[in-house]
Amino acid sequence: MKIKVLHVTQSTIGGTLEYLKLLLPRLNPNIFEVTVICPSYGPMATELKNMNIKVEIIEMVREISLLNDWKSVVKLRRYIKNNNFDIIHLHSSKAGAIGRIANLFNRIPCIYTPHGWAFNMKVSNQKKFLYRLIEKLLSYLCNTIIAISQAEKEDAIKLKISNHEKIKLITNGIDVSKFSMNVTDDIRKRLGISKETKIIGMVGRLSHQKDPITFIEVAKLIKDRGYNVYCILVGDGELREEVEQKIHEHRIQDHFLITGWTNEVANYVTQFDVGVLTSQWEGFGLVLAEYMAAKVPVVASNVNGICDVVLNQISGILVSPGDVEGFANAIIKILENEELAQKYINNGYKRVLEEFTIERVVKQHEDLYQRIANESKCKFKCL
């Protein structure tokens, strides 16, 4: 009999989507049968279905809404009861809450991956306290919590979210070959960017978390200092209008591109001369591993999650979030020093191969699923 695993997520774009797209198709189909529940909005349902992964739609909203959240709990609980799953794996804080409540009183083992703690977001102290309280209470309703970075695990232990034994570290991974291949579609030629022009790029959702406004301010400062650069934001999101307005205010639109959502992320990344991530907070920062796999030197925010991926002054440069001057200086330092850039490239690529391959992530998940399923069967037989 195959092990039936139900994945539930509210987040349908960004890191969680990429994580599932990498993990699920690689799970051994002879051992695991996978179903995904997600909302209808966003590209997740379509993209996973195109990968021959079974998808069911249950609407979930991102913000806290007692009425809408309860509707989601009821629908998910009904679906769980009508299907014989061996394991439920929940992704992100909202689905983590809805899923654990919906699974209440069932004997189905539950795994929760927060993909970045909600209490680490830039929110009020009251909300931070509320998020910590919710995580502590709901931790009793799952068998395992997967931390995607050492910092995320340490935060959970320090704040007593759960006991040490329940929290398992499985750092994220990427398909290294996708970013280390020779790219035939030359973005530079398509955009008319000369070989002498340096491309500074960032991949990420245009959201407050990723702080694209800081990226724009950095781009303006570097341009004002006379450097021949072209800046690319790969992604889209709720701040797009504000971002475009800021680009026009600074009159750098002729040296700036917002790609929108695209399936050409790897093609863009391999053209970067410097890869940037200006996040205010991160659970991991998967794109940083992608930069390093593409042999692109990295400048990123020095926040939890990121500091577990990029080793400061070894595989890249870390800067305080929101520090426009610091980001600009770090990028210029790399642009002006080929030897330093090559050092970061070599160390970053080596680190990705040693620590952040998707093959390692898949193996760790398969081992965890099999162990939990076997333990559950043993307990059931003993009852």
- CA gap 67, 64 in Å, rounded: 9
pLDDT score of 281 more than 80: yes
63 vs 23: which has the higher pLDDT: 23
Strand partners, 319: 301
- CA gap 185, 264 in Å, rounded: 10
Contact call for residues 281 and 304 (beta carbons, < 8 A): yes
pTM: 0.82
- Sequence spans of domains, the chain: 3-173+357-377, 176-355
pLDDT at 212: 97
pLDDT tens figures, 312-365: 999 999 999 999 999 999 999 999 999 999 999 999 999 999 999 999 999 999
Cβ neighbors of 296 (< 8 A, separation 6 or more) are 269, 270, 272, 273, 274, 275, 345, 348
- CA gap 220, 327 in Å, rounded: 12
pLDDT tens figures, 283-318: 788 899 999 999 999 999 999 889 989 999 999 999
**How many other C-beta atoms lie within 10 A of the C-beta of residue 349?**
19
Tokens at residue 270, please?
A: 């391999």
Tokens at residue 264, please?
A: 């050409």
Backbone angles phi, psi at 321, to 5 degrees: -60, 135
Q: How many residues does the chain have?
A: 383
Collapse the DSSP code of 113 into the 3-class scheme (helix H, G, I; strand E, B; otherwise coil) and give the result. strand
**Top-level class of domain 176-355:** alpha beta
Q: Pick from 207, 170, 172, 142: which is nearest to 21 by CA? A: 172
Provide the CA 237 distance to its chain's centre, in angstroms.
Answer: 15
pLDDT tens figures, 164-190: 889 999 999 999 988 876 555 578 888
List, in sequence order, the alpha helices (H) in the chain.
Answer: 15-23, 44-50, 66-81, 93-102, 125-138, 150-158, 176-180, 187-191, 212-224, 240-249, 265-269, 286-293, 306-309, 324-336, 338-355, 358-382
Average pLDDT score over the chain:
92
Q: Pick from 232, 171, 200: which is nearest to 15 by CA? A: 171
Fold match, 3-173+357-377 / 176-355: yes
pLDDT at 383: 46
Q: Tell me what the mean pLDDT of segment 232-253 comes to.
A: 96
- CA gap 224, 242 in Å, rounded: 21
pLDDT score of 382 more than 70: no
Contact call for residues 276 and 204 (beta carbons, < 8 A): no
Dmax (CA) for the chain in angstroms is 74
Strand partners, 230: 199
pLDDT at 319: 98
DSSP 8-state class, residue 124 = -
Q: Tell me what the mean pLDDT of segment 62-68 comes to.
A: 87
pLDDT at 62: 84
Give the CB-side neighbour count of residue 260, counting CA atoms within 13 A.
2
**Amino acid at position 179, single letter:** F
Q: How would CATH label the architecture of 3-173+357-377? A: 3-Layer(aba) Sandwich (3.40)
